[in-house]
Chains A and B, each alone.
Chain A
Amino acid sequence: MTGLATVMLSVIDTGEQITFWICGSLALIGALGMVLSRKAVHSALWIAMTMINLACLYMAQGALFLGMVQIIVYTGAVMMLFLFVLMLVGVDSSDSVVETIRGQRLAAGLAGLAFALMLIAVISRVTLGDVGTQGADAVYGGNLQGLAALIFGKYLLAFEVTSALLITAAIGAMILAHRERIEPKKEQKDLSKERFLSGEHPGSLPPPGVYARHNAVDTPALLPDGTLAENSVPASLRARGAIRTVDRALGDEVQQLAAGDGSLEGEDLR
Chain B
Amino acid sequence: MNGLIALVPIPTPNMDLGQIAPLEIVFGAALISVLVEAFVRREGRRRVQLVLVFASLIAAVAALVGLAGTRTLTAQASVAVDGPALFMQGTVLLLAIVGALLIAERSIDPAGDAFAPRASALPGGREERELTAAGWSQTEVWPLFLFCVGGMLLFPASNDLLTMFVALEVLSLPLYLLAGLARRRRLLSQEASLKYFLLGAFSSAFFLFGTAMLYGFAGTFSLGGIADALSGNAGDNGLVMLGVALLAVGLLFKVAAVPFHQWTPDVYQGAPTPITAFMATCVKVAAFGALLRVMYVALGGVRWDWQPMLWIIAIITMLVGVIVAIAQTDIKRMLAYSSIAHAGFILLGVIAVSEAGIASTMFYLAAYGFATLGAFAVVSLVRDSSGEATHLSQWAGLGKRSPVVAGIFTLFLLAFAGIPLTSGFTSKFAVFSAAIAGGATPVVIVAVFASVISAFFYARIIVLMFFAEPAEEGPRVVLPSAFTALALAIGVAVTVLLGVLPQPLLNLAQQAGIFLR
Contacts and interface: CB of A to CB of B under 8 A. Distances in A.
* Whether chain A touches chain B in the assembled complex (some CB pair under 8 Å): yes
Nearest to B167: A161
A140 B8 contact: yes
Nearest to B37: A171
Contacts of B20: 157
B6 A157 contact: no
Contact of A182 (B130, B138, B140, B150): B130
B239 interface: yes
A186 interface: no
A153 B167 contact: no
Interface in A123-158: 123, 125-128, 139-142, 145, 148-149, 152-158
Nearest to A174: B140
A154 B77 CA distance: 8
Contacts, number: 123
B76 A165 contact: no
B30 A164 contact: yes
Interface stretch (B118-126, B372-380, B434-442, B462-470): B118-126
A158 B239 contact: no
21 contacts: A139-B8, A141-B7, A152-B13, A156-B15, A156-B75, A156-B76, A161-B167, A164-B27, A164-B147, A164-B150, A165-B170, A167-B34, A168-B177, A171-B143, A171-B144, A171-B177, A172-B174, A175-B118, A175-B181, A176-B180, A180-B118
A79 to B, nearest CB: 16
Contacts of B130: 182
B404 interface: no
What are the 8 closest A-B residue pairs judged by CB atoms, nearest first? A122-B238, A157-B75, A141-B5, A149-B10, A158-B163, A172-B177, A158-B166, A156-B13
B31 interface: yes
Interface string A171-213: 1101111111010000000000000000000000000000000
B242 interface: yes
Given A164-B27, A175-B120, A177-B120, A158 B8 contact: no
Given A126-B236, A142-B5, A167-B31, A176 B216 contact: no
Which secondary structure dominates chain B's binding surface? helix
Interface in B8-52: 8, 10-11, 13, 15, 20, 27, 30-31, 34, 37
Most buried by B among A119, A140, A142, A165: A165
Interface in B104-136: 118-121, 127, 130-131, 134
A172 B120 contact: no
Contacts of A153: 10-11, 13, 76
Nearest to B181: A175
B485 to A, nearest CB: 29
A156 B74 CA distance: 11
A164 B170 contact: yes
A168 B144 contact: yes
Contact of B239 (A126, A152, A155, A167): A126
A159 B11 CA distance: 16
Interface string A5-39: 00000000000000000000000000000000000
Contacts of A171: 34, 37, 140, 143-144, 177
Contacts of B150: 161, 164
A179 B118 contact: yes
A164 B148 CA distance: 9
Interface of B: 5-8, 10-11, 13, 15, 20, 27, 30-31, 34, 37, 75-76, 78-79, 118-121, 127, 130-131, 134, 138, 140, 143-144, 147, 150-151, 154, 162-163, 166-167, 169-170, 173-174, 176-177, 180-181, 216, 236, 238-239, 241-242
Contacts of B236: 125-127
Contacts of B76: 153-157
B269 to A, nearest CB: 20
Nearest to B121: A179
Nearest to A152: B10
Nearest to A179: B120
A162 interface: yes
B278 to A, nearest CB: 16
B173 A165 contact: yes
Contacts of A165: 166, 169-170, 173
Interface of A: 119, 122-123, 125-128, 139-142, 145, 148-149, 152-158, 161-162, 164-165, 167-169, 171-172, 174-180, 182
Nearest to B163: A158
A254 to B, nearest CB: 47
B78 A158 contact: yes
Contact of B174 (A149, A154, A157, A168): A168
Contacts of A169: 173
B306 to A, nearest CB: 16
A176 B216 CA distance: 39
A176 B140 CA distance: 11
A182 B166 contact: no
B459 to A, nearest CB: 35
A162 B151 CA distance: 10
B7 to A, nearest CB: 6
B163 A176 contact: no
A175 B78 CA distance: 33
Nearest to B11: A153
Nearest to B118: A179
A17 B154 CA distance: 42
B515 to A, nearest CB: 19
Nearest to B141: A175
A162 B173 CA distance: 12
Given A126-B236, A172-B173, A141 B6 contact: yes
B8 A168 contact: no
Contacts of A123: 238-239
Contacts of A180: 118
A8 B150 CA distance: 52
A246 B76 CA distance: 88
Contacts of B154: 161
A126 B30 CA distance: 45
A126 to B, nearest CB: 5
B66 to A, nearest CB: 20
Contacts of B120: 175-179
